[in-house]
Amino acid sequence: MTESELDLLSINTIRTLSMDAVQAANSGHPGTPMALAPVVYELWNRVMSFDPQDPIWPNRDRFVLSCGHASMLLYSMLHLTKTQSVNPKYEAIGTPTVSIDDIKKFRQLDSRCAGHPEYRWTSGVETTTGPLGQGLATSVGMAIARRWLAGHFNKPGFTVYDYDIYALAGDGCLMEGVAAEAASLAGHLGLAELCWIYDNNKITIEGDTHLAFSEDVATRFIGYGWNVTRVGDANDLEMLARAYKTFQKTTDRPTLIIVDSHIGYGSRKQDTHSVHGSPLGEDEIKYVKRAYGWPEDAKFLVPDGVYDHFAQGIGARSAAARAAWQTMLGAYAKEYPALAEEQKLMQKRELPTGWDKDFPTYKADAKGLSGRTASGQVLNALAKNVPWLIGGSADLAPSTLTRLTFEGAGDFSAHETGRNLHYGIREHAMAAAMNGIALSKVRNYGSGFFVFADYCRPPIRLASIMEIPVIHIFTHDSIGVGEDGPTHQPIEHLASLRAIPGLIVLRPGDANEVVEAWRLIAGIKHHPVVLVLSRQDMPTLDRTKYGAASGLTKGAYILADAEGGKPDVILMATGTEVSLVLAAHEKLTAAGVKSRVVSMPSWELFEEQDEAYRDMVLPPEINARIAVEFASSFGWERYTGRRGKIIAMKTFGASAPLKELQTKFGFHPDQIVSTAKSLITASGSSGK
């Protein structure tokens, strides 16, 4: 069989596997995999350096399927290349990541072939995709990480990192605002490691793109500072090869390859929209297979020679590249042992010795300092000793205090590979790029005002699904923002983020809780974290008098207690409100009322504790409970119970100094004391 015949046989195998899988599931999108099979085939088998025997090889090329509905494209490639599964210990376990049985169970429970590609579930999937545009923006983070890795680790004669990132997208991805933000950032940074492939098929769910999308995409990307090239026919392997070479030769900017395709290639259906979003039907599949010269009744057929063709292509080429890289790395380790050790620790998300040696301990201080101030100091102490911790903000580092200021930290730009990133006013793209950086095993953080967490929610949610340790730092955490008014005062944001499974939300109540929050964050490997910090000062608590700040690691802990440890009322709070309930506690104690103060910086961590601990902190028999938070009351019922009270926000805030807002909305120690006494009376306890 000639090379061109093997090419076509392999391409049609991708197409027919996709058709059969979608038909068997009676669900999915067959059109895009059918149309783009040549594009992906040429990229994988002739261009990409990706070793199926080691799909987590650090210097592999990355492939991101931003149009995640075309997932059978990726699953077909992972199956045909015999990509191996890797377990959570980063070990190949000798089984294929996508078997033919997985493909037969496409979109079914426990199949490795979920409806949209899922990172961590299927080896070889570089990021979870589905929400359009997210894959593109995540790929920008991957390119930032690749640039930073090369700048940090590469040395003369030793190229540790030089991989490329390819992302495949459709019209829907390019319409999403996050893709525009990300493309603008990538062009500004000159990320030549990045190649987006745009499937210009002119079809979306509602029909032809003329309904809502008529811009000149090429001119738009030229304006972003990208190199743009075009392939007029998705089936033209020669032109595709030329386009990929153009990308590889471009060294000063990212590349967009516009590929013109016809969705559902080979189908006789006139309604291309239906081909895009639903199974073809058995009769149509038989027609298409006849057009391909395929046995029309054969299902999930991989003809003789196809597996071998991929093994001799991407398999042999990439195995040789990986072997050469590993040999080089051995020599590198002798020449640069410290950097080699960093590379090893980073890949396994481990921490170096002495990572927390410079963490401060704050003395008791009635004035104290803001959460953002303490965090900035601890962050710098941590980053100084964890060289692969990088990050930035959406143009707010002077306010979030997240700039790394120690000697050598530097800036990341088109010409520098320092550790301070500048995302511009692009919160959505920042959060998605953070996922891409974390997926590249580089630890990173991003920051902004808490109210703008709304712009970051889709990537935060994806980070939780993927179980990756991104760090979101949000300051200006409450109505404490004051004069900026309700547009800048986050009310519902704590509740909405607490609702995301797997996300750890931390709102520390003084500077030493901030230290403990960072100590916890540094060691987290499989959860994204949101660190919520105040703009205003918080008293630094006297830890010889009150509970140790290390209690933060359990999510909630007893900060102050009644004599004998048998309170009549429990006062709960987070963040700046902890000092309010402590003041109320002191007043109650002076009045002979037995109260307990519980600092609750993280509901999620508290819920992870065993029942005995939770009952010790919040004894079930005590019904008199008060929760205080400068945010929505939503959710606090689980801790106050029906008989408790919640002093929180039931409206948006207002524009005024904080003290006036506290008076207006009832956040005052005397209000807490009054509420506590009424609850004790209602519960039948004397309070003595």
What pLDDT is stored for residue 379 in this prediction? 98
Residues 614 and 529 in one domain: no
Query: Alpha-carbon distance 422 to 242, whole Å?
Result: 34
Residue 90 confidence (pLDDT): 84
Does residue 329 belong to any structural domain of this protein?
Answer: no
Q: Are residues 288 and 419 in the same domain?
A: no
Specify whether 140 is located in the same domain as 173.
yes
Low-confidence spans in the chain with pLDDT less than 70? 203, 205-206, 263-277, 685-688
Residue at a domain's end among 508, 539, 570:
539
Q: Please tell me the distance from the alpha carbon of residue 443 to that of residue 389, in angstroms, as a whole number.
A: 5
Q: In Å, how far are 31, 201, 453, 475 from 34, measured between CA atoms?
A: 5, 12, 38, 47
pLDDT tens digit sequence for 269-282: 544 444 555 788 88
Q: How far apart are CA 388 and CA 491, in angstroms?
A: 34
621 with 499, same domain: the answer is no
Enclosing domain of residue 175: 3-322
Same domain, 28 and 165: yes
Q: Which residues sit opposite 444 in a β-bridge?
A: 390
Residue 539 DSSP code: E
Does any domain span residue 46? Answer: yes
Q: What pLDDT sits at residue 31?
A: 87
H or E, element range at 589: helix 577-590
* 535 and 630, same domain (yes or no): no
342 is written with which tokens? 């960093």
Structure tokens at 251: 């060294």
Strand blocks (E) in 179-333: 194-200, 203-204, 207-208, 227-231, 255-260
Active-site residue, 427 included: yes
Name the active-site residue from 193, 427, 513, 629. Answer: 427
Boundary-marking domain end, from 539, 573, 588: 539
Q: Indicate whether 524 belongs to any domain.
A: yes
**Exposed/middle/buried for 297, CB within 10 Å: 0-12, 13-18, 19+?**
exposed
- Based on the domain organization, do 534 and 566 belong to the same domain? no
pLDDT (0 to 100) of residue 570: 97
**What is the per-residue pLDDT for 266?**
60
Q: What are phi and psi of 253, to 5 degrees?
A: -165, 160
pLDDT at position 521: 98
The answer to whether position 50 is within a domain reads yes
Q: How far apart, in whole angstroms, are the C-alpha atoms of residue 106 and residue 4?
A: 30
Specify the number of domains making up the chain: 3
Q: Are residues 109 and 253 in the same domain?
A: yes
Asked whether residue 501 falls in the same domain as residue 557, the answer is no
Cα–Cα distance measured from residue 444 to residue 402, given in angstroms and rounded to the nearest whole number: 12
User: Would you say residue 209 lies in a domain?
Assistant: yes
pLDDT confidence of residue 213: 81
pLDDT at residue 270 in the model? 47
Alpha carbon 142 to its chain's center:
12
pLDDT at res. 222: 98
pLDDT number for residue 687: 40
CATH of the domain at 195: 3.40.50.970
Residues paired with residue 557 on neighbouring β-strands, in sequence order: 599
> Rounded CA gap, 170 and 344, in Å?
36
| Boundary residue ending a domain (290, 322, 354) | 322
pTM for the structure as a whole:
0.95
Q: Are residues 408 and 292 in the same domain?
A: no
Q: What CATH number corresponds to the domain at position 595?
A: 3.40.50.920
Q: Which of 594, 589, 597, 641 is nearest to 617 (CA)?
A: 597
Q: Residues near 121 by Cβ (< 8 Å), separated by ≥ 6?
A: 112, 114
The helix or strand, by DSSP H or E, that contains position 33, with its residue range, turns out to be: helix 31-42
For residues 381 and 247, membership in a common domain is answered with no
The full DSSP string for 467-507 is: T---EEEEES-SGGGGGG-GGG--SSHHHHHHTSTT-EEE-
For residues 530 and 592, state if they share a domain. no
In a domain, 243, yes or no: yes
Would 688 be classed as within a structural domain?
no
Distance between CA 578 and CA 553 in Å, rounded?
17
- Residues contacting residue 483 through CB under 8 Å, at least 6 positions apart: 655, 656, 657
Cα–Cα separations (whole angstroms), residue 158 to 326, 514, 645? 11, 40, 63
Per the CB < 8 A criterion, the answer to whether 208 and 202 are in contact is yes
Element (H, E) at 443: strand 443-449
What pLDDT sits at residue 685? 56
Burial group, residue 216, by CB count within 10 angstroms (0-12, 13-18, 19+): exposed
How many CB atoms sit inside 10 A of residue 252's CB? 10
Whether residue 609 is contained in a domain is answered as: yes
